[in-house]
Amino acid sequence: MGNVPDKIWTWQMVSPFKKDRETGEVTPGKLEKTQIDVPALNAGDVLVEVAGCGICHTDLGYYYYGVPTVNQPPLTLGHEISGTVVDAADDVKAWVGKEVIIPAVMPCRKCELCKTGRGNRCLAQKMPGNSMGIYGGFSSHIPVPAIDLCEVKNRGDLALEKLAVVADAATTPFQAAKRADVQVGDNTIVIGVGGVGQYMVQELKALGAGTVVAIDINQERLDTMLKNGADFAINSSGKSSKEISAELKGFRKEQGLPGYGWKIFESSGSKPGQELGLALLSFTGKLVIIGFGPHKVEYSISRLMAFDADVIGTWGCLPEYYPSVLSMITSGKINFDEFVQTRPMSTIVESFDEAHKQSPDQRIVLVPDF
């Protein structure tokens, strides 16, 4: 048995950001450091000492935009978690002492969706920082089911706390590639190469995509992607969809690539990004929506009929895919370390504010320092 605490230290979201629709009055979100009880572990459960927890765009949605959580505040946010198992129920004692990544979504494994391979969207799934009661990753410890844990092996010089990003930012693109049925030689586009998109580019290349085009408004990010899997980059800042389409057409012509069958991954979650994805969608193509945004986009869906094209949503990642993504990282197929930064968890308020104002080029992982 590991170092089992008497209490769990945690940064709880006491209340989310709220804006009164009639008056426009704003009530800022609030985070408070507090202690909560260590629960009795049920059969199949373990207690994980948190090594690191990443700040995800979803956390910011809960906090700044009032996106509803399954469990109401007060609760602890955070679902990109790595750590070490320090306690376990009698039937899963073998997990004690192991380094692990906790999947961001954990399916029930009993429902029809789970039985038919769609467990990533299981309606009874557990998600830290949302649907696991008060428990989330921005804390010292978290109780979770052992069945979905991804054991970390052969990590070499990679810091365990940084591997927290595997729980969402690095695995969500893998699930998206599966949903799009990416095949060797496919022509692909990634719109938005920030926290998730930078892994989408690298994983497409690792999976054998013939062409990967990166599109973003940040030239530095694009330059980085050209060194990490992208074959061509388009800076979309200040350009219309028509201008971007013409630039892409010129690249296709130069490379002798077809204008049909392209698989587009929209990971920015922005309205311009989603509008661009729809504008670029053409014959027998697929548009996969990864990024979340609260806005609405107008589109003539009859174009899907004319193009025989698909628009696909994707959510999280099946836990059974985690070892494959982790292997890509530990084997060096994915440049991981360069895209992650760590900070003390006591900086959570400032870090939330910074990530909210501008998505950082390096994913912020908070390390407990209670």
CATH, residue 309: 3.40.50.720
pLDDT at 1 > cutoff 60: no
The string of pLDDT tens digits covering residues 114-159 is 999 999 999 999 999 999 889 999 999 999 999 999 999 989 999 9
Q: Which residue has the tokens 């022509």?
A: 187
The more confidently predicted of residues 273 and 61 is 273
The string of pLDDT tens digits covering residues 214-243 is 999 999 999 999 999 999 999 999 999 999
Asked, for residue 74, whether it belongs to a domain, the answer is yes
Number of domains in the chain: 2
- pLDDT confidence band for 23 (50 / 70 / 90): confident
Residue type, 18: K
pLDDT at 279 > cutoff 90: yes
For range 339-364, the mean pLDDT: 93
**pTM for this one?**
0.91
How confident is the model at residue 360, as a pLDDT?
A: 86
For residue 208, give its domain range: 172-313
Q: Which of 20, 13, 143, 4 has the alpha carbon at shortest distance from 68?
A: 13
Helix (H, G, I), strand (E, B) or coil at 86: strand
Check if the beta carbon of residue 356 is closer than 8 Å to that of residue 60: yes
Q: Which of 146, 119, 131 has the alpha carbon at shortest distance from 315?
A: 119
Helix (H, G, I), strand (E, B) or coil at 68: coil
| Alpha helix segments (H runs only) across the chain | 57-64, 112-115, 172-179, 197-206, 219-226, 241-255, 271-280, 302-307, 322-330, 348-357
The string of pLDDT tens digits covering residues 300-310 is 999 999 999 99
The string of pLDDT tens digits covering residues 69-80 is 898 899 999 999
Asked, for residue 184, whether it belongs to a domain, the answer is yes
Q: Which of 274, 251, 272, 256 has the alpha carbon at shortest distance from 264?
A: 274
For range 263-289, the mean pLDDT: 97
Asked, for residue 1, whether it belongs to a domain, the answer is no
Q: How far apart are the first and last CA of the chain?
A: 22
Instruction: Tell me: do 28 and 166 sit in the same domain.
Output: yes
215: left (phi over 0), alpha (psi -120 to 50) or beta: beta
For range 35-55, the mean pLDDT: 96
Structure tokens at 350: 């400032």
How confident is the model at residue 2, as a pLDDT?
A: 58
Instruction: Tell me: do 220 and 353 sit in the same domain.
Output: no
The Cα–Cα gap between 189 and 12 comes to 38
For range 54-77, the mean pLDDT: 90
Instruction: Tell me: do 149 and 261 sit in the same domain.
Output: no
- pLDDT confidence band for 294 (50 / 70 / 90): confident
96: part of which helix (H) or strand (E)?
A: none
Helix (H, G, I), strand (E, B) or coil at 347: helix
